Amino acid sequence: YPNLPTEVVNALNELGQNRLRDVARYAEELAEHKEREARLKDESPEGEIEERSDDLPDDVPTKATITVKEINNNRYYYWQWREGDKIKSKYKGPVNPD
């Protein structure tokens, strides 16, 4: 992967398979989060505060976005937001309630 810095490749080569899977999941979630942040920045005028959605639980911040995760060939909605360096998620419900 010529686009990756050498120090990243070297660090990844030192990891075991389980840790590499953790890194892959984290990297995918981080990329999704950054894509959502970029979309929200492009869609919302500077300083505009979004109204709290009626279905947003009390323990989920207003900055949360909805993401879809596929688990065992089923798709689910999750609220997702960042707290410091961590990405937090909370289950919302199935994409297809059937």
Three-class SS of 22-36 = HHHHHHHHHHHHHHH
> What is the reported pLDDT for 42?
60
Q: Is pLDDT of 60 > 50?
A: yes
- 79 in the same domain as 38: no
Q: What tokens appear for 3 in the block?
A: 């686009």
Host H or E run for residue 37: helix 17-43
pLDDT at 50: 43
What pLDDT is attached to residue 22? 87
| Mean pLDDT over the full length of the chain | 79
Residue 67 has pLDDT above 80, yes or no: yes
Is residue 14 scored above 90 in pLDDT?
yes
- φ/ψ of 13, rounded to 5, equals -65, -20
Shared domain check, 39 and 53: no
Q: Which residue has the higher pLDDT, 20 or 41?
A: 20
Does residue 14 sit in the same domain as residue 32?
Answer: yes
Domain that holds residue 21: 1-43
Verify that 1 and 28 share a domain, yes or no: yes
DSSP one-letter code for 15: S
Query: In this structure, are 52 and 92 located in the same domain?
Result: yes
Q: Are the CB atoms for 56 and 62 separated by under 8 Å? A: yes
Q: What is the pLDDT of residue 71?
A: 83
Is 26 found in the same domain as 50? no
The number of domains in the chain is: 2
User: pLDDT by residue (tens digit) across 37-53?
Assistant: 776 666 544 444 444 45
Are 11 and 30 found together in one domain? yes
pLDDT of amino acid 53: 54
